[in-house]
């Protein structure tokens, strides 16, 4: 159906309204709005997803790989990545070495906490990790169920592995499932974004 010519000063046509709407979507956001939105970060079919409302990360009572108790918490002024993994998880064999490399590359600005969720048998867990390059990674076991309890409150396990990002103020900001490349330019941009948020 052809539109009739419209005289100057008359009502807008549906076509002109749609074209104006499409053009407005192509215009970059104002700088104030853009600064409050994190850059895109993806891993396969998964993407970094914001958590709202943002809650403070609780202290978690865990055990290290030597069976010693440990209280793990976010540190003020530092980004914390809390990773949940399992010994049955194939993608975890890619994700854990990536997180270990990330932890080694930014030891002064970033903490990575990797929590095994499916086993409490330290020998089995150490065997699983033995073939992986994870020497720089702080690995823990959810012996007392603290991570499981926190998962019902703020760390929803929607995939395996899954990593939550806790900002410098101690609040859980978002998560990404799968094995993302944290050392990629997109990963670096996301971490820098949250470093600058203060």
What SS3 state is found at 107?
Answer: coil
Q: What is the pLDDT of residues 61-89, one digit of tens each?
A: 999 999 999 999 999 999 999 999 999 99
- Cα 121 to Cα 129: distance, rounded to the nearest angstrom: 13
DSSP string for residues in 122-142:
HHHHHHHHHTS--TT-EEEE-
State the average pLDDT over residues 107-118. 89
Q: Which residue has the higher pLDDT, 77 or 20?
A: 77
State the DSSP code for 180: -
Which stretch of 3-7, 47-51, 95-99 has the lowest confidence by average pLDDT?
A: 3-7
pLDDT at 81: 96
Percent of the chain with pLDDT over 90: 51
Q: What is the pLDDT of residues 118-161, one digit of tens each?
A: 888 899 999 999 989 898 899 999 888 877 676 656 566 677 89
Q: How far is CA 179 from CA 42, 132, 166, in A?
A: 9, 14, 18
Q: What is the pLDDT of residues 24-62, one digit of tens each?
A: 333 333 333 345 688 888 878 889 999 888 889 988 999
Answer yes or no: is pLDDT of 117 > 50. yes
pLDDT at 186: 94
Q: Which residue has the higher pLDDT, 15 or 96?
A: 96
Q: Which residue has the higher pLDDT, 17 or 187?
A: 187
């Amino acid at each position: 159906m052809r539109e009739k010519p419209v005289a100057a000063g008359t009502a807008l046509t549906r076509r002109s309204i749609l074209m104006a709407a499409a053009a407005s979507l192509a215009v970059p956001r104002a700088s104030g709005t853009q600064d409050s939105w994190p850059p895109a970060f993806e891993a396969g079919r998964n993407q970094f997803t914001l958590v709202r409302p943002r809650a403070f990360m609780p202290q978690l009572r865990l055990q290290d790989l030597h069976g010693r108790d440990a209280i793990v918490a976010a540190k003020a002024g530092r980004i914390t990545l809390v990773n949940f993994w399992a010994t049955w998880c194939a993608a975890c064999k890619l994700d854990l070495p990536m997180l270990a490399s990330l932890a080694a590359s930014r030891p002064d600005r970033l903490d990575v906490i990797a929590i095994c969720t499916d086993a409490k048998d330290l020998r089995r867990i150490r065997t699983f990790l033995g073939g992986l390059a994870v020497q720089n990674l702080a690995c823990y076991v959810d012996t007392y169920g603290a991570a499981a309890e926190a998962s019902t409150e703020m760390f929803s396990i929607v995939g395996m592995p899954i990593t939550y990002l806790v900002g410098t103020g101690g609040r859980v900001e978002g998560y990404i499932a799968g094995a993302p490349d944290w050392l990629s330019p997109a990963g670096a941009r996301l971490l820098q974004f949250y470093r600058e948020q203060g």
